[in-house]
Chain A
Amino acid sequence: MNATVDSLPVTWLRRIGSMSLFFAQVCARIIPAFAKPGLIVRQIYNAGARSLVIIMLSGLFVGMVLGLLGFDTLQRFGSEDSLGVLAALGMLKVLGPVLTALLFAGRAGTSLTSEIGLMKSTEQLTAMQMMAVDPLRHVIAPRFLGGIIAMPLLAATFSVIGLFGAQLIGVQQMGVDVGAFWSQTQSAVELRDVNEGIVKSLVFGVACSLIAVYEGYHCEPTPEGVGLATTRTVVTSSVMVLLLNYLLTAAFLTKA
């Protein structure tokens, strides 16, 4: 019993150390990976373009809910014209990056982990090493980069569609003045708000992509091992995104 309790922090420390080392190894291969840009473009397509539908749909529905709840709350104070500001800031600073990262972890992250895990269990990675090809450079680095590049683009798409959803409900259904909606949004949203969203989505992209490729590369090369690694990707990524969101929000507020 004690051994299990004692070993848990050690296990986590070892895991963090192993992931940090892996991160350093992947970073060292980022520049060489650009020698074959086709591999990176393919991964941006896999992680980004293939996630577009779920991101757009989710963004629309989240924006619509935000429109409904925002209108309901703001009208109590007679300030329903500020619905655009609420939706834009909410989407840009929190909902866009966070929900996109959670969806990204569930769709692209699990796909990355299982793909790399299956490559490992079918000896494709070993075969590459035997052909004197570094799998970290050829397989891992392009996927890691593809995730990092795709995340901010997906988060931007989510925010834009979400804002459209909020406008759809607020203006078309609830009768908020369209001019007030957009002009207040334009005057209230500043560049630093946009920057906050970009920084957050970039950091989340690094975290989610790193966890996904790490879990795939280090999984047990068995069907059960790949399944467990995929589950760990979703759980670890989700917790990490929410933790990082708090830390980044606090940092941006302190800076402001």
Chain B
Amino acid sequence: MTNSLTNDANGSPAQAGDAVIEVRDVHYSIGGRKIFDGLDIAARRGRITAFMGPSGTGKTTLLRLITGQSQAQSGSVKAWGQEVARMSGKELFALRRRMGMLFQNGALLTDEDVYENVAFPLRAHARLPESLVRQLVLTKLQAVGLRGAARLLPAELSGGMARRVALARAIVMDPELLIYDEPFVGLDPISMGVICRLIKQLNDALGITSIVVSHDVHELSLIADDSFLLSGGKVVAQGTPAELHESDLAEVHQFMGGLADGPVAFHYPAPELAQDLLEGEA
């Protein structure tokens, strides 16, 4: 059941010419388990799009499809109008140079300090004079408030700081699309607020498109322009965070309210507890 709260006149979730990422009728299974069953999603230019859903709904898998790390069994995944699955290795690398990605754990290079981590993409892709590399790196570190931590090693950083360094690294090549995979996981309220503001500021100041995958409803409500709620391999609702909050759909109500009872089962399928206990005695 899909409830499009903000469909345009054609019933399409986003205007095609406006979409940076378009996912159409995607079916994807791993080891016989169906992850997506006709998924339709789009991320529009210049906007912050949130993909929400309970754990295990395939949010990170969706990012893997968008970035070409995995391929769907059927359906279409397009980035800037190009079919990602049909790209050669070289084309895929060219595509990724237009993207920046923030990983759940930061994925910083552990044997390099903060400065070298941020400089890494610059050194890998361009032969720039050291003075220019320094200028770019310090500018990006200043943007995330960690210029003073330039010579620290990743092991010396807190979780929030590591996430901010990873963010500086993700924007150092001035990408057109920034992808955030669970950016708020394991952060204290201060770090969470800082990351939240940074996502919004970077999107607005740099004029880029952002995709945020998370299940933190409150934080996403503050920054997202468009939201998609995933469940059971499909989009069950989409719209602005405010529209999702007001939805009377059972799945949306359960997720936005953080309720244990609802269409999304809390318990993994199992026989009745009494039956299980009695069998143990026998």
Chain A: residues with CB nearer than 8 A to chain B? 118-119, 122-124, 126-127, 129-134, 138
Interface string of B120-149 (1 = CB under 8 A from A): 110011000000000000000000000000
Q: Is B206 an interface residue (CB 8 A)?
A: no
Interface string of B152-168 (1 = CB under 8 A from A): 00000000000000000
**Which of B69, B94, B105, B124 is within 8 Å of A131, CB to CB?**
B124
B121 and A123 contacting across the interface, CB-CB below 8 Å: no
Q: Is B109 an interface residue (CB 8 A)?
A: yes
Residues of B68-117 whose CB lies within 8 A of A: 69, 93-94, 96-97, 99, 101, 103-105, 107-110
**Which of A122, A134, A138 is within 8 Å of B107, CB to CB?**
A122
Chosen A-B contacts, 7 in total, with CB atoms closer than 8 Å, are: A118-B110, A122-B107, A130-B101, A131-B96, A132-B94, A132-B121, A138-B124
A122 and B124 contacting across the interface, CB-CB below 8 Å: no
Q: Known: A132-B93, A132-B94, A132-B96. Contact between A126 and B69, CB under 8 A?
A: yes
Complex Cα distance A119/B107, Å? 9
Complex Cα distance A138/B112, Å? 14
B110 and A124 contacting across the interface, CB-CB below 8 Å: yes
**Which of B94, B99, B103 is within 8 Å of A127, CB to CB?**
B103
**Which of B69, B94, B108, B125 is within 8 Å of A129, CB to CB?**
B69
Residues of B163-185 whose CB lies within 8 A of A: 169, 173
Residue in chain B with minimal CB distance to A118: B110
Interface string of B173-208 (1 = CB under 8 A from A): 100000000000000000000000000000000000
CB distance from A141 to the nearest CB of B (A): 14
Size bracket, chain B contacts: 20 to 34
Complex Cα distance A134/B103, Å? 18
Residue in chain B with minimal CB distance to A115: B111
A130 CB contacts on chain B under 8 angstroms: 67, 69, 96, 99, 101
Complex Cα distance A118/B121, Å? 21
A127 CB contacts on chain B under 8 angstroms: 101, 103, 107-108
B125 CB contacts on chain A under 8 angstroms: 132-133
Residue in chain A with minimal CB distance to B95: A132
A119 CB contacts on chain B under 8 angstroms: 109-110
B124 and A133 contacting across the interface, CB-CB below 8 Å: yes
Residue in chain B with minimal CB distance to A127: B107
**Which of A122, A126, A132 is within 8 Å of B110, CB to CB?**
A122
Q: Known: A130-B67, A133-B124, A138-B124. Contact between A123 and B107, CB under 8 A?
A: yes
A129 CB contacts on chain B under 8 angstroms: 69, 96
